[in-house]
Amino acid sequence: MAGGLVTALRTLTALPVPGREAERFSDSLYWFPLVGLVIGTLEVLLARVGVLAGWYEMAALFALGGGIVLTRGIHADGLADLADGFFGGRNREAALRIMKDPNVGSFGSLALIFVMLFKFVCLVELVRYGAFGTMIAGVVLARTGQVVLAARLPYARAEGGTATAFVEGAGWPHLVVAAASAFVFLLYPVGFGWPRALFLLASAAASTLALGLMSRRKIGGVTGDVLGACSELTETFVWFAAVMSLRFPFFQ
């Protein structure tokens, strides 16, 4: 089991992690929410540096930039590839071919700019409200969304790819354990009550489901780029839903 944690940390972060990786990469999926908790906590620590100076925008920028550095930008790269393929490909084959191209096109660039600006605006508001737990929750649920898609959708490329080992061995046990772990993390140590935790979990589920349905229709399953994009989009949507609930208090 420890090998799964090593694989999860090496896959999702740039942190130097000693130890032997899991024999089955899918075993690392159990640990994705925990790795999200680690990343989210580090982002909050960076944000608090900006808060000490009373500069909310800088706090948000530290959190956003820290997340990119900690993850090597792999999820942002997936988002760009997905946008290029889904919006630039006329059919399944064209979409998969474009997504495999390492160059970023106009759709990918626009998607990155929009999502990063959206995340920055949401982070500024979360910092202003002191909602640091919500920042962590978004990161945890984003990684949980990756597990959901890996467990419920087939790998889209017949020839395989970078995420094949994660997807082909994934199933209901990974989904259930990851979702339960994420929910527990929202209750403790993040410290939300049940209503708030369920609201954020439902927000993440809505975003993940929407992307999963789109990916199933467009390319017949998932790829590593889809999983990366899921992390970026779910994180963004959870933060946005949280900001809306803070500005219009229907869940406190």
The confidence score (pLDDT) of residue 250 equals: 60
DSSP 21: P
Which residues is 155 bridged to in the sheet? 222
Question: Tokens 């997807």 — which residue?
Answer: 167
The confidence score (pLDDT) of residue 211 equals: 98
pLDDT digits 0-9 by tens, 172-200: 999 999 999 999 999 999 999 999 999 99
The confidence score (pLDDT) of residue 54 equals: 86
Residues 73, 76, 77, 81: what is their CA dihedral angle, to the nearest 10 degrees?
180
pLDDT digits 0-9 by tens, 203-240: 999 999 999 999 999 999 999 999 999 999 999 999 99
Secondary structure, 3-state, 48-93: HHHHHCCCHHHHHHHHHHHHHHHCCCHHHHHHHHHHHHHHHCCCHH
- Using a pLDDT cut of 90, give the percent of the chain over it: 91
Residues 134, 174, 228, 116: what is their CA dihedral angle, to the nearest 10 degrees?
-10
Report the pLDDT averaged over residues 55-74. 97
Nearest to 186 by CA among 248, 228, 138: 138
Element (DSSP H or E) covering residue 136: helix 132-152
Nearest to 200 by CA among 191, 79, 65: 191
Report the pLDDT averaged over residues 140-165. 94
Report the pLDDT averaged over residues 73-81. 97
CA-based angle 131:132:136, to the nearest 5? Answer: 120
Tokens of 35: 């790795």
pLDDT at 23 over 90: no
CA 79 to the chain's CA centroid: 10
How far apart, in whole angstroms, are the C-alpha atoms of residue 88 and residue 164? 24
pTM of the model: 0.96
Model confidence band, residue 1 (pLDDT cutoffs 50, 70, 90) = low
Contact status, residue 117 vs residue 236, Cβ threshold 8 Å = no
